[in-house]
Amino acid sequence: MERKRVFSGIQPTGDSLHLGNYLGAMVGMLDLQEQHECIFSVVDYHAITVPYETERLSQRVLNVALDYLAAGIDPQKSVLMVQSDVHEHVELSWILGCLITVNKLSHLPTYKDKVARYGVAGLGLLSYPVLMAADILLYEAELVPVGQDQLPHIEFAREVARAFNRRFEPVFPEPQAHLMPGAVVPSLLGQGAMSKSVPGSYIALTDEPAVIGKKLAGAVTDPARQRLRDSGEPTRCNVYTLHELYTLPQQLSEIAAGCRGATIGCLECKAVLAEEISEGLAPIRERRRALAADPNYMRDVLRDGAQRARSMAEATMFKVKQAMGLLTA
């Protein structure tokens, strides 16, 4: 199989990643790192586009890096780096920004959502998708493992690549999203997706089994099912959507039949899922604990990752500048 470049990034906005990040994005990264040349990043410059706590940022960056390694990203196979360690991300972002209209950016859905949520309309927030396009194009990446919420941004990166190639020379491939079955991991609150910014919506990768059990016990199910004797409809239930990602087909169809026929209660159904999720997360939690005990190792991995990323970034920037008439010597 042809070896392609892969890039993806995760923002350091919480204390630990959640099941949505893992099933939506990381499972795809793990899948791709076996065959392709991967660069995975903690995108700290994206995290400062909205208000954040200065004193917690550096620890959050390290936490995401820990989550990457604990989940199985292997620094022997993939490059793991922090975005702000490679200044070419910002340099290319400036260049690409010169090809894009403000009007186009202000109509992207995430910009409007964030302005509504934070009440700030900073230039950084507006050009967030340009920086994201730069992240991907800087490594000439062809595949981008992400959750479904990132699709408008990937589409935008493709447009930017086309605009550059048309205006100057064909330097960039058009990147494609690499989606997994967990592309939309639902919220525990019954509506929308699991999200770091919505408390109560998520299961963290660091949650202990007892916490997972408790969170799931409180999760919203099919609203039509108030009592055990009410029959439920699994397709209206977020807990069932999670079951679809964890439970083998035979048991899954038993659960669906039990829900429709009111022979299995929601708590029983949730207990099965809690055990499966806890079992799946146990090795990640253990590896994370071991890695957290050795901060020097983590620093070495990130230093090495930055160095490897930098040499790829420099090669692309040379082509970009040459194509644009920015090289004088």
Residues that bind ligand TYM (CB under 6 A): 7-11, 20-21, 24-25, 43, 46, 132, 135-136, 144, 146-147, 149-150, 153, 182-185, 193-195
Dist CA 208 CA 74 (whole Å): 24
CA 64 to chain centre: 11
Dist CA 49 CA 110 (whole Å): 12
Q: How far is the CB of 22 from ligand TYM (least distance, A)?
A: 8
Q: How far is the CB of 10 from ligand TYM (least distance, A)?
A: 4
Nearer to ligand TYM, 195 or 264 (CB): 195
Dist CA 174 CA 189 (whole Å): 36
Dist CA 28 CA 147 (whole Å): 9
Nearer to ligand TYM, 246 or 264 (CB): 246
Q: Is the dihedral of CA 229, 234, 235, 240 positive or negative?
A: positive
Structure tokens at 47: 């995290």
Question: What backbone phi and psi angles, to 5 degrees, belong to 18?
Answer: -120, 175
Q: How far is the CB of 213 from ligand TYM (least distance, A)?
A: 20
274: nearest Cα among 17, 69, 30, 19: 19
| First-residue to last-residue Cα distance in the chain | 39
Q: How far is the CB of 253 from ligand TYM (least distance, A)?
A: 24
In the three-class reduction of DSSP (H, G, I as helix; E, B as strand; rest coil), residue 222 is classed as: coil
Q: How far is the CB of 138 from ligand TYM (least distance, A)?
A: 10
Nearer to ligand TYM, 161 or 264 (CB): 161
Pure H helices in the chain: 19-21, 27-33, 44-47, 54-71, 88-97, 102-106, 109-118, 123-126, 128-138, 151-167, 209-217, 238-246, 249-260, 266-292, 295-324
Q: Are 237 and 255 in contact (CB under 8 A)?
A: no
Nearer to ligand TYM, 97 or 182 (CB): 182
Q: Is the dihedral of CA 13, 17, 22, 26 positive or negative?
A: positive
The partner residues of 25 in beta bridges, in order of sequence, read none
Nearer to ligand TYM, 37 or 254 (CB): 37
Q: How far is the CB of 264 from ligand TYM (least distance, A)?
A: 26
Nearer to ligand TYM, 118 or 297 (CB): 118
Q: How far is the CB of 144 from ligand TYM (least distance, A)?
A: 5
Q: How far is the CB of 191 from ligand TYM (least distance, A)?
A: 12
Nearer to ligand TYM, 135 or 207 (CB): 135
Nearer to ligand TYM, 183 or 274 (CB): 183
In the three-class reduction of DSSP (H, G, I as helix; E, B as strand; rest coil), residue 22 is classed as: helix
Nearer to ligand TYM, 136 or 160 (CB): 136
Q: How far is the CB of 173 from ligand TYM (least distance, A)?
A: 14
